[in-house]
Amino acid sequence: MATFLFDKIIFGPVQSRRLGVSLGINLLPTDYKFCNFDCIYCECGYTFPEKFRKHPFHSRAEVRTELEKVLLKMQSDNNLPNYISFAGNGEPTLHPEFSEIISDTVELRNRIAPQAKIAVLSNATQAHKPAVREALLKADDCILKLDSGIDDTMQRMNGVSKSFTVEKIIEALKQFEGKAIIQTMFLKGCYNDIYIDNTTETEIETWLGAMRQIAPRKIMIYTIDRETPAAGLEKISAQKLNEIADRARHVGFDVQVSV
């Protein structure tokens, strides 16, 4: 199915299901996806590591210059965003200057758009690194992914190797001491002749167990909204998502549902 890439460093503002009016920052290449996940539902398409080049990233200076220019224009138009969001064509924390870029963004936000919040959408694979964790915690919302509490399901949904386990990600996310937001995609469908459904009773119970260990300050759950690279995937109904949310709320979590 059709997918798309962001063709600029700064994109939008766009209307986000979860963040309102969001100005996006893409630290990754504009002509291919750069990610250590290969999610079957990713709007940017599949990951092709053979495309990775030695220096594929926009520089810290480029990001700062472009962000300042756009924010000043939005300020003059009296149209500043609700959020400044790190997303784009892959995993932003893979950028070698991620920490410095976060610091620059905080300074620009404070000076030009103090009412805006900063969000980072990350797959959490670098969250175990102290420098990355420190940078993520400078954002108002560090939104970190965990699609399942079961290794096989996570590996199939996210296209990661068996060396990347739920246990490892839980241990990394526990280090955020309740300040992280956990984002979970719920879907079902057949992929490579294997049926995937992370809404079964076993899946939900295991996922809730992971949430209890991580103790996030908020949980965001959602389902497919755009075309996906893998055919045969199905949206989860709003009713089912709200049932899952109610179970998490019963445990004591703040849950946001996006359909």
Q: What pTM was computed for the model?
A: 0.92
Question: Rounded to an integer, what distance in angstroms lies between the CA atom of residue 32 and that of residue 30?
Answer: 6
Mean pLDDT of the chain: 93
- Which of helix, strand or coil describes residue 191? strand
Beta carbons within 8 Å of 229's beta carbon, 6+ residues apart: 1, 3, 40, 41, 42, 45, 46
Closest CA to 196 of 167, 236, 161: 236
Q: Is the pLDDT of residue 148 over 70?
A: yes
| CATH number among 3.40.640.10, 3.20.20.70, 3.30.300.30, 3.40.1800.10, domain 10-258 | 3.20.20.70
Task: Give the pLDDT confidence of 44-95 residue by residue, as tens digits.
Answer: 878 777 766 766 789 999 999 999 999 999 999 999 999 999 998 999 999 9
Domain residue spans in the chain?
Answer: 10-258
Is 134:166 a contact under the CB 8 Å cutoff? no
- Which of helix, strand or coil describes residue 99? helix
pLDDT of residue 144: 98
pLDDT of residue 52: 66
